[in-house]
Amino acid sequence: MGEQRIESAKEHFGELLGQQLERIEYLKTEAEWSDFSTINPIIIGILGGDGIGPTITGEAQRVLEHLLQDEVARGKVVFRVIEGLTIENRAAQLKAIPDDVLEEIKQCHVTLKGPTHTPEQGDGWPNIESANVAMRKALDLFANVRPVRIPKEKIDWTIFRENTEDMYAVGSQGINVSDDLAVDFRVISTQGSRRILQLAFDHAQRTGKNKVTVVTKANVVKTTDGKFLDTAREVADQFPELAWDSWYIDIMTAKLLDLERRHEFEVIALPNLYGDILSDEAGQIQGGVGTAGSANIGKRYAMFEAIHGSAPRMVKENRAQYADPSSVMRAAAMMLEHIGFQELGSRLHKALDVCGQYERKIIMTGRSSGATGTEFGEYVMNTVIDPTLEARWDEYSTS
């Protein structure tokens, strides 16, 4: 019986290795980056998602449509709402992303996406892959970029989390060898590591940063994390003008809480699972994960989203209208910058700083004791179009 189980596990592992080797061959081919200055029209897909997703995404869409109204009028930008990326539809079709929904997504250049529910063991939904993970793999969105800014504390972090490998790449393909032994798999490749590290170092150089910090647990996880760290050394050699250092994930999570040291970090690059954990901690430091947005970037497509989940408890308790839309609005600001509207993106970032960190004339609590998402959306809308925004932001950020 034991030998049969081992043989079955070997067969499963062999199929997994075959898939990954095929994927790496694809990574060896070079694709060109999309040039949004030549794309007309730029199609922006809107995906509401699950739980509080439609509520908060709707507020971000409203702000985006206002900021881009001139571009929409002259045909440069088109918004397209895509239905069907819900847990009910995904479960009914037993697919992380239904085929027709994926085809609609591929017809867009970028998407703004609300959080989607990922089934877990015992929650009543079928064991389908995370929609996020599936989208990242299907569109090759290899870079998860998560900025965290607290100007008054001199914090300006940009976290580059590898998006298509590590535990998340094959997290749904583990195996129960027996009733007592479960095994999951972890995948790190030279090609996957190099492109996320290259992007992080490129960003540091382009934005005038001085240092890149690479995070692993290579002292214990020697093979996969060791490959990521070895690749970092090779990439760093291409950027002699930049300093770089390496930290282990456990002490790095502590150092983000170190008031004396944390402002020293600038650009942080790390594998998928560590990046998920560290960026959630960083978002909490900024003011809560509800304030943090993220970009999922590939050479052809890009998807922008909140870093938090769908908050089913808020929906169950009839509190969805009090969900904070800041996270998706941050993602929308990143989208604007990505598709070539840097000034509009910068204004939206600054408006969110002013509304969420400085003035706070309207407070979100997630309950009836605070503002609704619509009220906060109006606050941001009025702030982003206010001609005094730049002066207000400069005053608050330097005080």
Tokens standing for 98?
């239904």
Rounded CA-CA distance 3/206 in Å is 55
Mean pLDDT lowest among 2-6, 188-192, 257-261: 2-6
Q: What is the largest CA-CA distance in the chain?
A: 74
Per mean pLDDT, which range of 6-10, 37-41, 96-100 is the poorest? 6-10
Q: What is the pLDDT of residues 241-263, one digit of tens each?
A: 999 999 999 999 999 999 999 99
Report the topology of domain 146-287: Isopropylmalate Dehydrogenase (3.40.718)
Given pLDDT bands bounded at 50, 70 and 90, which one contains residue 170?
confident
Cα separation of 24 and 54, whole Å? 36
What is the structure's pLDDT at 124? 81
Judge whether residue 289 has pLDDT over 80: no
Q: What is the pLDDT of residue 324?
A: 94
User: For the chain, what is the mean pLDDT?
Assistant: 93
Is the pLDDT at 118 greater than 80, yes or no? yes
Does the pLDDT value for residue 121 go beyond 90?
A: no
250-254 long-range contacts (CB < 8 A, ≥24 apart) are 250/217, 252/213, 252/215, 252/278, 253/277, 253/278, 253/281
pLDDT recorded at residue 133: 84
pLDDT of residue 205: 96
Q: For the residues 300-320, what does the mean pLDDT come to? A: 93
Q: Is the pLDDT of residue 290 over 80?
A: no
pLDDT tens-place string over residues 28-48: 887 788 999 999 999 999 999
Sole residue written with tokens 């739980």 = 51
Predicted pLDDT of residue 357: 85
Answer yes or no: is pLDDT of 1 > 70. no
Instruction: Give the domain ranges of the chain.
Output: 31-141+298-399, 146-287
Give me the residues paired with residue 78 across strands. Answer: 43
Percent of the chain scoring above 70 in pLDDT: 99
Strand-pairing partners, residue 247, are 215
Token digits of residue 102:
């994926």
In angstroms, the CA 49 to CA 35 distance is: 28
pLDDT score of 167: 86
Is the domain covering 31-141+298-399 a CATH 1.10.3810.10 domain? no
